[in-house]
Amino acid sequence: MATSRILVLKKHMSSKAASTMIKNVTVIGGGLMGSGIAQVAAQTGHQVVLCEVSDQALQKSRSSIQTSLQRVAKKQFKDKPAEAEKFVNDSLARLNTSLNVEESVKSADLIIEAIVENLEAKHKLFSNLDAVAPSHTIFASNTSSLSIEEIASVTKRQDRFGGLHFFNPVPVMKLLEVVRIPQTSDDTYHRMMAWGAAMGKTTITCKDTPGFVVNRLLVPNLAEAVRMLERGDATARDIDTAMKLGASHPMGPFELADYVGNDTTKFILDGWHKRFPDVELFKPIPLLTKMVEEGKLGIKSGEGFYKYNK
């Protein structure tokens, strides 16, 4: 483990508040983010339950987790195939799946919600969880754009509530944003920070502000790139090349927009526009709206700003 992460772990574990370590993690929602979180939790030694609504969804999650674990194993155990295989098998053995929310949270120290970005759906889930989860269980949302305080408002455990925002692809991206709401207790905060370090992530702390740190800077950047393309200032390819070679970004804004999903970017912008109608940066972009309406969502639909082999 990197020295900085050991220091974070020690700092937050030395507090009396962090005396109860998070060992059992339940992830609700097995999409791209939920699967990634469940995978990393399992590969770092946690007992994990991944909860979804259908067998088909669970099968898809399990298959993507297996593929991703093999990629991680190949990297971590380059010339040691037996160790690589053990890493994959041990991680998969710690990963259980469930179709029953109540059952899946029975022993959870931490529940992370990674379901659809819809406040009503999240409220329904968390008020149910509040009634059935053990009293010590910390609740967290991986929302990328909704307010944590608003999500937490339906529960009676706002002191045990926070935001844990991961980045795609979760096994590769090293950052975890830990979001405190005013009600989050020191105990909960320290446990979330220590858990982030135990997950092998570098943690930063952020208030419950729209987009937290990364998306607040990243999404307007993508939006400005789309506006640039719309005005005809440069081609998508040239804007991407410019940002990769001129700013050392690993992906250009259009490659990233296709990777994140144009519907997701539009959803985040629309939500912010609704809340802050005067902010120019959040205003709707006709080109983005048109692409989403035409189903050009990015890699997942086979076409976005670029075309992909499905």
Residues at the site binding ligand 3HC, with contacts judged by CB under 6 A: 68, 71-72, 75, 144, 167-169, 171-173, 215, 218, 250-251, 256, 260, 264
Verify whether residue 100 is a known catalytic residue: no
DSSP 201: P
Q: Minimum Å distance from CB 309 to ligand 3HC? A: 15
Of 230, 213, 217, 234, nearest to 285 (Cα)? Answer: 230
Residue nearest to ligand 3HC (CB): 144
Q: Minimum Å distance from CB 208 to ligand 3HC? A: 15
Q: Which is nearer to ligand 3HC, 108 or 269 (CB)?
A: 269
| Cα separation values, 205 from 14, 24, 29, 44, 310, Å | 18, 23, 24, 22, 38
- Residue 232: CA atoms inside 13 Å, Cβ hemisphere, count? 0
Which member of 142, 144, 147, 301 is catalytic?
144
| DSSP helix/strand/coil, 21 | coil
Q: Which is nearer to ligand 3HC, 154 or 213 (CB)?
A: 213
Verify whether residue 89 is a known catalytic residue: no
Q: Minimum Å distance from CB 173 to ligand 3HC? A: 6
Verify whether residue 68 is a known catalytic residue: no
Of 69, 136, 133, 60, nearest to 97 (Cα)? Answer: 60
Which member of 177, 255, 301, 303 is catalytic?
177
Judge whether 265 and 289 are in contact, CB under 8 Å: no
Q: Which is nearer to ligand 3HC, 52 or 255 (CB)?
A: 255
Q: Which is nearer to ligand 3HC, 31 or 169 (CB)?
A: 169
Verify whether residue 142 is a known catalytic residue: no
The values of phi and psi at residue 47, to 5°, are -85, 125
Which member of 215, 255, 301, 303 is catalytic?
215
Judge whether 84 and 73 are in contact, CB under 8 Å: yes
Q: Minimum Å distance from CB 302 to ligand 3HC? A: 18
Handedness of CA 152, 157, 159, 162 (dihedral sign): negative
Residues acting as catalytic residues:
144, 165, 177, 215
